[in-house]
């Protein structure tokens, strides 16, 4: 036996809290009988002189049972001239009267261990020829050796020999032993009272738990036996895969492994009794003494008792399983501002029985918007959800069993609710009313402002428009305001324009107030030193190539420019310009174009 102690620690992270559990585990390791006793390689197969000591070994460590070795002479029983010491394996002649100078025989030597519950054995055949090799000196030494061991080995021989020995196998009819011409049958009334038995064991039973005691009953048994102390039988289980074992000393059925009712709720196997050879020898000796006969004895069991018993073990349930869902994550879509029923059917499973396996459902969060049926797991939306408030919701579903001690609960699944946006919001302008101050000399097509509106509906595309007027246009996608005509006729006047924005369903509008100022009131503009310049372009130039930098050519600082674009009426322009003044080609075709520039307004006198 060996004992081990293991220290175990489990760390659990649950809801941002850490829990630690420590315990120790004690392991008791018991050696099993796994090595067969073997004769040494130097053992001869032919002997010409006695005594001779056979030597065998067993690699099992427990020398009291699994590693304990006993020798036996198998095929020599009645009037056998040989004697084999069961403890040290010495083969010798019984005495002078048993010696014959022409003795030739073949002996079968058996060596076995005392392993529990299964004994392992080995055997060899040895040819014995004493006809020409043995001498008087050898015979004298044999008789002396025999006298020294006779008293010690006679009782041991009776304890270890079997009742099924046959006569020595003769070789060329040189030597024969008398054999019994008759045999007697002895009926034994011993065994199990019933042929089946059932037990109930909880699945949390500890290892080495005693399931039941195997009670042996007898009626007029020839030997006086004590059922508490005497072990007449080997108990064997016909199924080695069951987590049970029989303690041969206490005659009890024990648990040797953990049980799990969810994997197997019942075990059915058979236990068989096998009579030990030592008790068969005792019965034979007792019978020979009473009957004064050396005839062979056959033991048979009566039908009053059973030598096999069917064991049925039912595993009772405990609450040891947490409810689990078929899917750990689910995804559903929900339209905003709508109440819907039966969004999803939650299905959880608990393999425990009865109340331990009865599942109730509940919500961990967002109970104000959703509800779940306690028994069926049907998920409903009970309050409309606004996309602008929640675009997605992670809904945690709790599954709890109804076991009393303990009651187990788990977040068995997470439902990802994706809210579909609908057009339910009206676009809103950034300000209630727009006011712009323009100068009467502002060039035509100048961009002087931008209208900006927002819509809480993320997917909506806003479209801008102006009330009909001869002076201002608006980019319907970006909201930029541009002059169509010069304003010199509207000096010191105010004109109003109505701007409207729509998302395709909802509309909103506001007013634009434009104040036209005279040029003397304006800042002095920056004049271009070069009103125009030309470029020669190779028609094979790749699209995206930089043609020129307008700022560098006109000697302007990019920081003084508000906005620059290419103004081209009619067909699509073959060129583009970025806000750094770089003009690039987009197509290979050429067309006329002009550049419109806007400048930051500054007072040159205020910088000093």
Mean pLDDT of the 420-425 span: 83
Region of poorest pLDDT, from 96-110, 158-172, 309-323: 158-172
- Give 97 or 362, the one with higher predicted confidence: 362
Distance CA 223, CA 216 (A): 14
Return the pLDDT at 501.
92
The H or E element that residue 147 is part of is helix 136-160
Return the pLDDT at 572.
66
- Give 570 or 32, the one with higher predicted confidence: 32
- Give 607 or 447, the one with higher predicted confidence: 447
- Give 298 or 378, the one with higher predicted confidence: 378
pTM: 0.46
Spell out the residues 6+ positions from residue 301 whose beta carbon is closer than 8 angstroms to its own.
187, 188, 189, 190, 191, 307
Tell me the per-residue pLDDT of 393-402, one tens digit each, with 9 for 90 and over: 999 999 998 8
607 pLDDT band, cuts 50/70/90, is very low
- Say whether pLDDT at 8 is over 50: yes
Tell me the per-residue pLDDT of 232-278, one tens digit each, with 9 for 90 and over: 777 888 888 899 988 887 888 999 888 888 888 899 999 988 777 66
Distance CA 520, CA 441 (A): 10
Mean pLDDT of the 347-358 span: 87
- Say whether pLDDT at 566 is over 90: no
Distance CA 460, CA 586 (A): 30
Distance CA 540, CA 29 (A): 90
Mean pLDDT of the 77-82 span: 74
Tell me the per-residue pLDDT of 311-320, one tens digit each, with 9 for 90 and over: 999 998 888 8
Distance CA 15, CA 9 (A): 20
Distance CA 235, CA 297 (A): 23
Q: Domains, the chain, ranges and CATH?
A: 38-179 (2.60.40.60), 185-316 (2.60.40.60), 324-409 (2.60.40.60), 428-521 (2.60.40.60), 530-608 (2.60.40)
Residue with tokens 């009772």: 316
Mean pLDDT of the 3-14 span: 82
Mean pLDDT of the 348-358 span: 87
Cβ burial, residue 179 (10 Å; 0-12/13-18/19+):
exposed
Angle CA 69–86–186, to nearest 5: 105
491 pLDDT band, cuts 50/70/90, is confident
Spell out the residues 6+ positions from residue 6 whose beta carbon is closer than 8 angstroms to its own.
24, 25, 26, 27
- Say whether pLDDT at 547 is over 70: yes
Return the pLDDT at 54.
92
Radius of gyration of the chain (CA): 54
136 pLDDT band, cuts 50/70/90, is very low
- Say whether pLDDT at 467 is over 70: yes
72 pLDDT band, cuts 50/70/90, is confident
510 pLDDT band, cuts 50/70/90, is very high
Mean pLDDT of the 506-520 span: 86
Mean pLDDT of the 147-157 span: 39
Phi, psi (deg, nearest 5) at residue 351: -70, -5
Region of poorest pLDDT, from 295-299, 331-335, 397-401: 295-299
Return the pLDDT at 373.
93
Return the pLDDT at 223.
57
Question: How do beta strands 392-401 and 378-381 pair?
Answer: unpaired
Region of poorest pLDDT, from 56-60, 297-301, 464-468: 297-301
Phi, psi (deg, nearest 5) at residue 469: -160, 155
Residue with tokens 């104000």: 368
Q: How many helices (H) and strands (E) does the chain have?
A: 3, 46
Region of poorest pLDDT, from 44-58, 293-307, 588-602: 588-602
- The two structure tokens encoding residue 472: 């201002």
504, 461 in Cβ contact below 8 A?
A: yes
- Give 323 or 181, the one with higher predicted confidence: 323
Return the pLDDT at 172.
34
180 pLDDT band, cuts 50/70/90, is very low
> What is the percent of the chain where pLDDT is above 90?
18
Cβ burial, residue 188 (10 Å; 0-12/13-18/19+):
buried
- Average pLDDT, rounded, for the chain: 77
Other residues' Cβ atoms within 10 Å of the Cβ of residue 9: 9
Distance CA 421, CA 335 (A): 7
- The two structure tokens encoding residue 251: 């005659």
């Amino acid at each position: 036996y060996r004992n081990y102690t293991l220290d175990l620690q489990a760390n659990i992270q649950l809801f941002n809290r850490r829990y630690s559990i420590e315990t120790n585990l004690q392991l008791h390791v018991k050696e099993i009988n796994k090595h067969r006793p073997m004769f040494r390689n130097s053992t001869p197969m032919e002997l010409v002189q006695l005594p001779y000591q056979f030597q065998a070994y067993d690699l099992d460590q427990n020398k009291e049972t699994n590693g304990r070795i006993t020798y036996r002479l198998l095929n020599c029983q009645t009037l056998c001239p040989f004697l084999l010491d069961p403890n040290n394996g010495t083969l010798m002649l019984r005495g002078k009267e048993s010696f014959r100078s022409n003795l030739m025989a073949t002996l079968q030597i058996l060596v076995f261990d005392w392993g529990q519950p299964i004994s392992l054995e080995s055997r060899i055949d040895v040819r014995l020829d004493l006809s020409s090799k043995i001498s008087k000196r050898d015979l004298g030494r044999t008789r002396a050796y025999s006298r020294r061991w006779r008293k010690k080995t006679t009782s041991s021989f009776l304890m270890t020999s079997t009742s099924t020995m046959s006569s020595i196998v003769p070789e060329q009819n040189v030597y024969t032993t008398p054999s019994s011409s008759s045999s007697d049958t002895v009926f034994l009334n011993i065994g199990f009272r019933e042929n089946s038995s059932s037990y109930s064991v909880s699945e949390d039973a500890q290892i080495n738990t005693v399931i039941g005691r195997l009670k042996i009953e007898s009626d007029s048994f020839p030997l006086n036996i004590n059922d508490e102390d005497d072990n007449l039988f080997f108990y064997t289980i016909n199924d080695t895969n069951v987590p049970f074992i029989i303690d041969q000393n206490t005659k009890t059925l024990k648990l040797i492994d953990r049980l799990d009712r969810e994997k197997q709720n019942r075990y059915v196997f058979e236990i068989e009794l096998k009579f030990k050879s030592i008790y068969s020898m005792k019965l034979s000796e007792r019978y020979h003494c009473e009957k004064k006969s050396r005839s062979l004895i056959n033991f048979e069991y009566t039908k009053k008792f059973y030598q096999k018993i069917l064991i049925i073990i039912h595993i009772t349930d405990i609450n040891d399983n947490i409810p689990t869902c078929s899917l750990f994550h689910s995804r559903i879509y929900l339209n905003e501002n709508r109440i819907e029923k039966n969004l999803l059917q939650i299905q959880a499973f608990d393999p425990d029985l009865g109340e331990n396996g009865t599942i109730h459902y509940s919500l961990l969060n967002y109970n104000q918007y959703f509800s779940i049926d306690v028994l069926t797991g049907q998920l409903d939306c009970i309050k409309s959800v606004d996309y602008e408030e929640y675009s997605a919701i992670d809904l945690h579903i709790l599954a709890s069993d109804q076991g009393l001690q303990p009651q187990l609960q788990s977040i068995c699944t997470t439902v990802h609710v994706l809210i579909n946006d609908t057009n339910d919001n009206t676009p809103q302008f950034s300000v209630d009313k727009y006011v712009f101050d323009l100068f009467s000399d502002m060039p035509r097509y100048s961009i002087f402002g931008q209208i900006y509106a927002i819509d809480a509906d993320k997917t909506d595309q806003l479209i801008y428009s102006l009330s009909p007027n001869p002076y201002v246009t608006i980019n319907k996608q970006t909201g930029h305001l541009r002059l169509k005509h010069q304003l010199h006729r509207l000096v010191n006047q105010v004109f109003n324009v109505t701007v409207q924005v729509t998302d395709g369903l909802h509309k909103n509008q506001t007013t634009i107030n434009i104040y036209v100022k005279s040029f003397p009131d304006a800042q002095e503009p920056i004049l271009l030193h070069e009103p125009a310049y030309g470029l020669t372009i190779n028609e094979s130039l790749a699209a995206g190539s930089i043609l020129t930098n307008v700022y560098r050519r006109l000697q302007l600082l990019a920081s003084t420019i508000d906005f620059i674009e290419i103004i081209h009426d009619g067909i699509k322009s073959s060129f583009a310009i970025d806000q750094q003044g770089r003009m690039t080609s987009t197509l290979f075709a050429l067309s006329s174009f002009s550049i419109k520039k806007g400048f930051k307004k500054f007072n040159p006198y205020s910088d000093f």
